[in-house]
Each structure stands twice: as C-alpha cells, then as structure tokens.
Structure 1
Amino acid sequence: MDEELKKMLVKILENQEEFKAEIRKHTEAITSLDEKIMQRTEALFDGYKINSEKIDELTDKIDDLRFDVNNLGIKTLKSENKILELDRRLAK
C-alpha cells in the first residue's frame, strides 16, 4: 500500500510540475499579448490625439473663414447701398 501511495504521490508531483510549466508558458503568452495590446492602444490613442488637434485647427480656420465671409458680405451690402445712393442722386 505504501508503494502505491508513493507512486500516486510521484505522479501527482509530476503532474504538478507539468501544470507549472504550462502555467509559465501561458503567463508568458499573456504577457506578450498584453504588451502588444498596450503598444497598439498607445498608437491608437496617439492617432486619436493628433486627429483631435487637426480637427481643432480646421475648426478654427473655418471660424476665421466664416468671419471673413460675413465681413465681405457686409462690405458688399455697404457698397451696394452707396451705389444705389449715388444712382438716386444722379437721377435727380
């Protein structure tokens, strides 16, 4: 009976070592995947940040263009009013 228990104990210890080796292998694989995921996540975040900055720049430029267009519209209306006023004066 003792011999049988010893064999079982040896088998259990062998299995335990196999499981430890397997766990180490899986841990290394998980660590490697985690590093790759972190690198890709950082790259995506950097890209997102750059895109946000570019969008902000474009938004500012669009706002400036709107302001310029509005000013040109106002100047055009003033010029048209002056032309109409001069036309009325000449018609008298």
Structure 2
Amino acid sequence: MSLPLPCCSQKTWCVAKPSTEEAALQENIDFACSHVDCGVLRSGCACAAPNTRINHASVAMNLYYEAMGRNHWNCHFGNSGLIVQTDPSYGTCAYP
C-alpha cells in the first residue's frame, strides 16, 4: 500500500523570504521574468500593487516556480525562496 507523498498532495507556492536583501529580490525578478511572462506586474495590472520589490519578487518567483513544474529546486533563488502551503493570492492578484 502506498501513500501519497506529502510534498505532492498539497498545492504549494514559492515566495521571497522576508529577510531577502533588495538587490537579491531584484535579481530574482530579473531572472524569473527572463523565463516567464511577468505581465501581471506591469502598472495597472492585477499584481502591480503593492509596488514593492518583495511583492513583485514573490509574484515573479512563483510564476517561474509554477512554469517549471513546482519542483523545490525551482524555488531556491540563491536560498531566498520559500515554499509555502498557504495561497499568497490577495485582492485581484491570483497566484497560479
């Protein structure tokens, strides 16, 4: 009898660790958005506000994490990524 793996039975999201330096957050945004469409971060779009680096990094990092298959290594980002089990979506910004 096999049981489902705990890692795979629940949806997870990738966000930036709160302690991450601003420069590292910007690097994460640049890296993630060079691989996935970060259009939701443009001014006036669903995830543009709040206009903070940690918010934009978390959205971009999660878009990358989701696009790459939600593997734990796709949320490393130089040890600045954090995998969470609580949906970080807010207002009109829906995390995939």
Which TM-score bucket, shorter chain as reference? under 0.3
TM-score between both structures, scaled by the size of structure 1: 0.20
Indicate the structure whose relative CO is greater, using CA pairs within 8 Å and at least 6 residues apart: 2
Q: Which one has a bigger Cα radius of gyration?
A: 1
Structure number with higher strand proportion: 2
TM-score between both structures, scaled by the size of structure 2: 0.19
Structure number with higher helix proportion: 1
